[in-house]
Amino acid sequence: MIQFFIDIFNPDMVFLMYATLIGIFASFAFGIMGTFVVIKRVSFIAGAISHCILGGIGLGMYLNKVHEITWMTPQIGAILMAIFSALLIGYFTIYYKEREDTLIGALWAFGMAIGLILIYYTPGYTDPMSYLFGSILMVGLEDLITVIILDILVLTITILFFNKFVSICFDEEFARLRGINTRFYYILLLVLIAITVVMLINVVGIVMIVAMLTIPSGIASVLSKNIKSMIIYSILISLFTVITGLAISYEINAPSGPVIIILSSIIYFIAIVFLRKRIF
Amino acid sequence: MKNIIIEVDKLNFTYEHLDKNVLENISFKICENEFVGIIGPNGGGKTTLVKILLGLLSPQSGSVQIFGTKPGKNPHKIAYLPQHLVFDPQIPITVEEVVLMGCLGHRFIGLYTQKDHQNAIEAMTKMNVIEYQNAFFSSLSGGQKQRVLIARALTCRPKILILDEPSAGIDTHHEQILLDLLKKLNAEMSIIMVSHEYQFVSSLVDYVICINKDSHIHYPNEINEKNFQEIISKKYQYIAHDHEVKTK
């Protein structure tokens, strides 16, 4: 493990520094948005958004290579699809409550299927595994800059509307009576979750995003007395699991995403066993 | 002469899935600092009427004026205590955080200010829940939770307080505490209390509006335990309805 922390500063292994910095910056967004995912109980929606993103990645690759639309990179495709799917799912969950789970389930699979088809029709071989299970050790400076920009965006909007987000999670009817446009803030929250999901793709991959958005905040909810402390614990737990998971995966030469998730899950199970006061 | 703050005239309302009215030809006026009871049988339309007053539902016909404007236009003048608070008890939220929510809507962006915190402390003190300020909201008893929710409602210094079945789920001791607090609050604001138990509201109200599809106004000296059932079951028409369903 110590070798990992020495190699972070090795100029020949700059990818390790990028991976660590992405993990650090992304942990802030994971901690904040993860808290809202847990208290609003929208992990199923976050899962659907993350799987729809594969459709955006596929579309980005296809348009970039086949139609030579240079600005349409897989990353831009992922961001656009994340926002689009958040808006679509938000609309469905507000106006089609009766069939909410079925619709979300259908979108979940639809987005992924579209992505796989477009990747298949894109010339050249692309291994979808790196998107599905993460590839934090393959990231570059561009990825780091994207994560920093998205992080600033998520943090700024959350700080500005924090009280409104908490109120719609706790008592939506009361918030509405206070003149707050609860539908707007619900959809804004989903868009921020979607942006956070884009950051998570490199770290843990599409398949395990839900775990990273719920496990650190699930542990934090047992330790916390209020929502602000839940967010702080959640950020700290995310930081610990991402950095330690990276170090372990580097040491044992294993994919970083699954190692981070296994580490988080173990801490979560220990928290359930030893902190039973509040079962979640 | 007291100012009229709520004026309902020939109100008719039905839900999307129903073919008959839940409320029909409802008319009444409420003046400032009055204490009014809304009573009636379950399914008679009491909560529906409250949701119309709050601007959460829109009537098909008739008019509703609150402070001279449509319902929902003065969110900070009306405070509401719901019959059941649907919330996730596992959300780690303190009593103070819940009460502070009463300050929502004052500004578009930003966190709560020092003044908001002062208002919250004042409201918690008034409702005798200041000692639970840092306690988990979900760890409180039913009666304590109710007082916290009233404190939340009071932080915006409302002119009207609407309580929907406040006696549901609390014991007689807490019922009395609540009634004493409401009596004090009535000096500062109008109070509308919905209940299906006349005995609960009888000691406080100036008059009661019996809602059972239509409306009748009765004064406390006209109602007693013997004729109460007769009054509320007159033209009894229970209409099963869901308050969340969209209106036509």
Domains in chain A, start-ordered, CATH in brackets?
Answer: 2-274 (1.10.3470.10)
Tokens of B144: 């304590």
**Rounded Cα distance, A220 and A36, in Å:** 12
- Angle at which helix A256-274 crosses helix A182-204, to 10 degrees, equals 120
User: What pLDDT was estimated at residue B239?
Assistant: 45
- Mutation target to probe the A interface, by most A beta carbons within 10 A, among B52, B83, B90 is B90
Cβ–Cβ gap A160/B87 under 8 Å: no
A227 touches chain B (CB under 8 A): yes
Cβ–Cβ gap A166/B134 under 8 Å: no
Give percent above pLDDT 70 in chain B.
83
In Å, how far is B203's CA from the nearest CA of chain A?
Answer: 29
Contacts of B152 in chain A (CB under 8 A): 174
The DSSP code for B2 is P
Cβ–Cβ gap B136/A225 under 8 Å: yes
Indicate the domain borders of chain B.
1-77+158-248, 85-157
Burial of A86 (0-12, 13-18, 19+ CB in 10 A): buried
User: What pLDDT was estimated at residue A32?
Assistant: 93
The class level of CATH for B1-77+158-248 reads alpha beta
Mean pLDDT of chain B: 81
Query: At residue B185, does pLDDT exceed 90?
Result: no
> What mean pLDDT comes out for the span B136-158?
87
B12 or A137: which leads in pLDDT: B12
Give percent above pLDDT 70 in chain A.
98
CB A189 within 8 A of CB A36: yes
**Rounded Cα distance, A218 and B59, in Å:** 43
B192 or A100: which leads in pLDDT: B192
> What mean pLDDT comes out for the span A159-180?
90
A124 touches chain B (CB under 8 A): no
Contacts of B136 in chain A (CB under 8 A): 225
Q: Which stretch of A98-102, A142-146, B15-19, B212-216 has the lowest confidence by average pLDDT?
A: B212-216
Q: pLDDT grade, residue B236 (50/70/90)?
A: very low
Sequence-separated (6 or more) residues with CB below 8 Å from residue A166 = A227, B93, B97, B101
Per residue in B209-246, is it b (16+ CB within 10 Å) or e — as a string?
bbbbbbbeebebeebeeeebeebbeeeebebebeeeee
Instruction: For residue A181, give the chain B residue with the closest CA.
Output: B105
In Å, how far is A173's CA from the nearest CA of chain B?
Answer: 9
Sheet holding B207-212, edge to edge: B78-81, B160-164, B190-195, B35-39, B207-212, B214-218
CB A147 within 8 A of CB A26: yes
Q: Which stretch of A39-43, A197-201, B167-171 has the lowest confidence by average pLDDT?
A: B167-171
- Mutation target to probe the A interface, by most A beta carbons within 10 A, among B50, B91, B100, B119 is B91
CB A238 within 8 A of CB A251: no
Cβ–Cβ gap B90/A221 under 8 Å: yes
> What mean pLDDT comes out for the span B27-43?
86
Query: At residue B240, does pLDDT exceed 80?
Result: no
User: What pLDDT was estimated at residue B120?
Assistant: 92
